[in-house]
Amino acid sequence: MAYGAGSFPPHNRLHLQHEEIARRKPKEFLRSRYLQRHYDPLRPGFAGIPSQPEDSVVIDFNYYHANNASTLRLKEDIWEEIEHMAFFKYGARPHWAKNRNLGFLGMQSNYPNFNKFIAKKKQLDPQGIFSSKWSDQILLESKATDKGNGCALKGHCICSEDKHCSPSTGYLCKEGLVYKEARVCGYSPSSIV
């Protein structure tokens, strides 16, 4: 199993939209088993600094993920649409240890003091000893850099053409079921060659 999480202000409407997906595709969407919500009240974090700017709702979603990142997740289109709604429509803050790179695209705008953080990071670690290729990509790049074959399946890009999915197995780039702005890898059996 793989795991993704995002936190939101409690007044957002993501829960209504994922319930709409469940209503339209009940067999594919087992919400009580794979999607969990809980309230996360504002509380002091490290050194009295809150971990989020206000009371939040945390949504955890669990899904199948093979050892090979290019292997499709079960119900790929549903999970991608939920990710897109969470991170791009509602501005969820990704959990730093539980998301694919996609969850971090453009996330810098969700943190009002992000530039101060980067400046302090550079001041305290000028040689990048505590950095990695992944952390630099997540912190310093605001758009996907991998646009190769299968990049959407790996969580490195948002599909904009079929090759970003897996056309040979019937998965093509399409719009979301409820969130039409989402671009997801959806199954189309008639496309298998």
Question: Comparing 168 with 30, which gets the higher pLDDT?
Answer: 168
Question: Comparing 20 with 7, which gets the higher pLDDT?
Answer: 20
pLDDT 10s digits, 78-101: 888 888 888 888 888 787 777 788
Give percent above pLDDT 90 in the chain.
13
Q: Is 126 helix (H, G, I), strand (E, B) or coil?
A: coil
Name the nearest CA neighbour of 135 among 96, 78, 103, 173.
Answer: 96
pLDDT 10s digits, 100-126: 888 888 888 877 788 888 898 899 999
C-alpha span between 183 and 102 (Å, rounded): 12
Contact 155, 164 (CB under 8 A): no
- Written out in words, the top-level CATH class of the domain with range 2-105+143-191 is alpha beta
- List the domain boundaries for the chain: 2-105+143-191, 114-142
Structure tokens belonging to residue 110: 């969700």
Neighbouring CB atoms inside 10 A of 174's CB total 17
pLDDT 10s digits, 124-170: 999 999 988 888 888 877 666 677 888 888 888 899 999 999 888 88
Neighbouring CB atoms inside 10 A of 143's CB total 9
DSSP state of 148: S
